Chain A
Amino acid sequence: MSEEKFQPKIVAFVCNWCTYTGADLAGTSRLKYQPNVRLIRLPCTGRIDPVFIIKAFEKGADGVLVSGCHPGDCHYNLGNLHARRRFILFSELMNYVGIDSSRLHFSWVSASEGKKWVDVINEVIDTVREVGPFKKYQKINKEFVLHE
């Protein structure tokens, strides 16, 4: 291989009841998707504090996906509805400071949507691969890092 493809690091914050189970279904159904994603399971999208997303970028993520139950399906009835409102505000803010929708993604994937999960995650990885490594954030991450 002379020309290696850029392999982005994607962090996906997923809810326990829908998307995580959906991803599980993708696995048990032997569906294949690109392996660039690290799943972090949380009880609910309502539990996802935007500070987690910033932390993911600080730890070197090139893109972040937040995924949970469809509206109305939330295990806790309202968690994803509160989350949706929060992420409208947060995604606009992130866009304003220069982290646009090519790096920050959101989706609803239910427990039965193994195929949708595969499609979503492939799409996210391809989008991030296209915009390349998150050099801007890596620059501020590298401040005061020890070079030997």
Chain B
Amino acid sequence: MDEKLITLNNLKIFAEELLKANYTLILQDKQGIRWEKISNSDELHISSKLKPTKASFKEFVFSKTEPIFYFNNKNDGVELIDSNLSAEKMVFFGSKPCDAKSINIMSKVFNWDYKDNFFNTKAENSIVIGMLCEYRDEFCFCTSVNLSPVSSDGSDLFLIPTDENNFAIRIVTEKGREFIQPFLKLFAEGNPETTDQIFKKINLPEKGFESEVIRSWIGNNFEHKYFERAGEICLGCGQCAFVCPVCHCFDIVDEECGYSCGRRMKNWDACQFSLFTLHGSGHNPRHNQTQRYRQRISHKFKYYVDKFDEILCTGCGRCSRGCPVGIDIGQIAKEVHSLAANKV
């Protein structure tokens, strides 16, 4: 594995050069709410100790709302016009391992039978510069979903702070290597063994549950009354799904642009909404919040694993930090794990 060294000063110059080369730099904002584009390398603030923003960077690869196509009613029929796919080159700078992994996970569902051009174009145009994470709170559980604060999985390049003003940068993918090529003069040669030592010193969040245990328990206990208890206080908002780095459900609606034209929009949707499964007939197969909450857990830890061999969760803890009623998905998984262990 190739490794380079860079000083904080040079990192700023690197950012400056990227901006000049028409890359869009996207970073955690200073308020800790969401990721935002920066226009000046002075705004580059990265740290391994930053708290994860309330929203993930998902919205840049999977927009909260975007047009799929436009339609125009003409005398000789309906004309369809494709929407332009953005070719913006994006760099996610200083992403935590739990964020960096998200594009890989989502790409499985977006390329499973239909190839989703909207997602793919943006994903292909993205470079993820991951960063070792030293933030911990009671909601973090990346180690329980087979990730870790030092994992470069999903990153193209991976930053490791060696001291306050110096970083090591690991080249993880071929895409990352090509991307960094024009800027190599800013980097010095590094030694992967030194950073391996740093990795060893990082303390990891305690592993709370085995995801495989959760998967098989859910498969055998679909009607278990535990879900009733977990789901009864859920208020049915979409906060958890919308801040999640990997939740990818969407809704399609038509909007008019004028008297004879319109656009078809793709909007985020969430399985906790009562409208999510509502049929046109008025029948709702998931008619109470308990069933909807069970769906959320099952999709994350069972269905997605069964289908794509990937847990639909990166353990970032965003949904739990923000849940209006304090539902903590890490805690629920732990409880399910102990239910499974005690065979109840």
Contact = CB atoms under 8 A, between A and B. Distances in A.
Contact of A146 (B66, B81, B265): B81
Interface in B165-222: none
Nearest to A143: B65
Chain A: number of interface residues, binned into ranges: under 10
A144 B266 CA distance: 12
Nearest to B262: A146
Contacts of A148: 81
A88 interface: no
Contacts of B265: 144
14 contacts: A144-B65, A144-B66, A144-B67, A144-B263, A144-B265, A145-B257, A146-B67, A146-B70, A146-B81, A146-B83, A146-B257, A146-B261, A146-B263, A148-B81
Majority-rule SS of B interface residues: strand
A145 to B, nearest CB: 6
A146 B67 CA distance: 9
Nearest to A144: B67
Contacts of B83: 146
Interface string B258-270: 0001010100000
Chain B: number of interface residues, binned into ranges: 10 to 19
A143 to B, nearest CB: 9
Contacts of B67: 144, 146
Interface in A95-148: 144-146, 148
A148 B84 CA distance: 11
Contacts of A146: 67, 70, 81, 83, 257, 261, 263
Top 5 A-B pairs ranked by shortest CB distance?
A146-B70, A144-B67, A145-B257, A146-B81, A144-B263
A145 B265 CA distance: 11
Contacts of A144: 65-67, 263, 265
A146 to B, nearest CB: 5
Interface string B72-84: 0000000001010
A75 B65 CA distance: 44
Contacts of B257: 145-146
Nearest to A141: B257
Interface in B14-61: none
Nearest to B255: A144
Nearest to B257: A145
Given A144-B65, A146-B83, 12 more contacts: A144-B66, A144-B67, A144-B263, A144-B265, A145-B257, A146-B67, A146-B70, A146-B81, A146-B257, A146-B261, A146-B263, A148-B81
A144 B86 CA distance: 12
B27 to A, nearest CB: 24
A49 B67 CA distance: 29
Nearest to A147: B84
A144 B67 CA distance: 7
A18 B66 CA distance: 44
A77 B66 CA distance: 47
A36 B65 CA distance: 34
Interface in B215-266: 257, 261, 263, 265
Nearest to A60: B258
A20 B81 CA distance: 41
B168 to A, nearest CB: 42
